[in-house]
Amino acid sequence: MPTARDTGAELPPEQTALLAGHEPLLGDASPGRWTDAGVAADGQEASRRQTAEEPALNESNHEVGFARGVAIGISLFVLIFIHSTNMSGLTMIQGPLAIDLHAPTLAMWFTTSYFIATSSLLPIIGRLAAIFSPRAVVLPCVALFALGSLFASQAHSFAAFVAGRIVMGGGGAGIVVMAVVFVIELTDKKTRGVMIGFVNAAFTMGVSVGAAVYGVLHPVVGWRPLFWFQTPLTIIAGIGLYLSLPASMSSPPAQQNGKPTPLSRKLASIDYLGAVLLTLTIILFLYSLAGDIHPTPLILSFFSLIAFVTTEFRLAANPIIPLSVLSSRGVLLSCLAQLGLITARWSILFYTPVFMLAVRAAPPAAAGAVLIFTNLGFSLGGLAIGWLHIRRAGSYYAAQLLSLAFAFLTISSLATVSHPTTPSLVFIAIVCLNGVATGIALNYALVHILHLSHPSTEYVTTSLLATFRGFGGSFGTSLAGGIFYRVLRDRLVSGFLALDGTPDLGPARRKLVDQLLGSPDLVWYGDVLAPPERHVAVDGYATAIKGVWQAAAVLALVVIAVQAAAGWTSPREEAERRLHEDEE
Residues 313-333: what's their mean pLDDT? 75
DSSP letter at 534 equals H
What is the distance between the alpha carbons of residues 283 and 298, in angstroms, rounded to a whole number? 10
What Rg do the C-alpha atoms of the chain give, in angstroms? 24
Confidence band of 193 (pLDDT split at 50, 70, 90): low
How many CB atoms are located within 10 Å of the residue 70 CB? 12
Report the pLDDT value the prediction gives residue 53, as an integer from 0 to 100: 44
Report the pLDDT value the prediction gives residue 460, as an integer from 0 to 100: 57
Domain ranges of the chain: 65-255+263-269, 271-317, 328-584
CATH code reported for the domain at 328-584: 1.20.1250.20
Whole-angstrom CA distances from 137 to 18, 279, 462 are: 12, 19, 20
* Greater model confidence, 267 or 39: 267
Confidence band of 55 (pLDDT split at 50, 70, 90): very low
In contact, 118 and 102? CB cutoff 8 Å: no
71-127 per-position pLDDT tens digit: 888 999 999 989 988 877 787 787 788 888 888 777 778 887 887 888 778 777 877
Q: How far is CA 464 from the centre of its chain?
A: 11
Asked if domains 65-255+263-269 and 328-584 share a fold, the reply is yes
Confidence band of 276 (pLDDT split at 50, 70, 90): confident
Residues 203-218: what's their mean pLDDT? 79
Q: For 322-336, give the DSSP string.
A: -HHHHT-HHHHHHHH
Report the pLDDT value the prediction gives residue 411, as an integer from 0 to 100: 94
On the question of pLDDT at 208 being above 90, the answer is no
The CATH number for 65-255+263-269, chosen from 3.40.640.10, 1.20.1250.20, 3.65.10.10, 3.40.50.2300, is 1.20.1250.20
On the question of pLDDT at 263 being above 80, the answer is no
**Least confident segment among 246-250, 322-326, 404-408:** 322-326
368-412 per-position pLDDT tens digit: 778 778 888 888 887 777 777 776 667 888 999 999 999 999 999
On the question of pLDDT at 458 being above 70, the answer is no
SS3 sequence, 430-457?
HHHHHHHHHHHHHHHHHHHHHHCCCHHH
* Greater model confidence, 87 or 331: 331
Report the pLDDT value the prediction gives residue 474, as an integer from 0 to 100: 66
Distance separating the N- and C-terminal Cα atoms of the chain: 51
501-553 per-position pLDDT tens digit: 887 877 888 888 888 887 788 888 777 788 888 888 888 888 899 999 999 99
Confidence band of 475 (pLDDT split at 50, 70, 90): confident
Report the pLDDT value the prediction gives residue 189, as an integer from 0 to 100: 62
How many CB atoms are located within 10 Å of the residue 549 CB? 25
Confidence band of 465 (pLDDT split at 50, 70, 90): confident
H or E stretch at 554? helix 531-566
What is the distance between the alpha carbons of residues 136 and 145, in angstroms, rounded to a whole number? 16
Answer positive or negative: Cα dihedral of 111, 117, 123, 128.
negative
Confidence band of 567 (pLDDT split at 50, 70, 90): confident
Report the pLDDT value the prediction gives residue 414, as an integer from 0 to 100: 92
**pTM score, two decimals?**
0.68
Average pLDDT, rounded, for the chain: 77
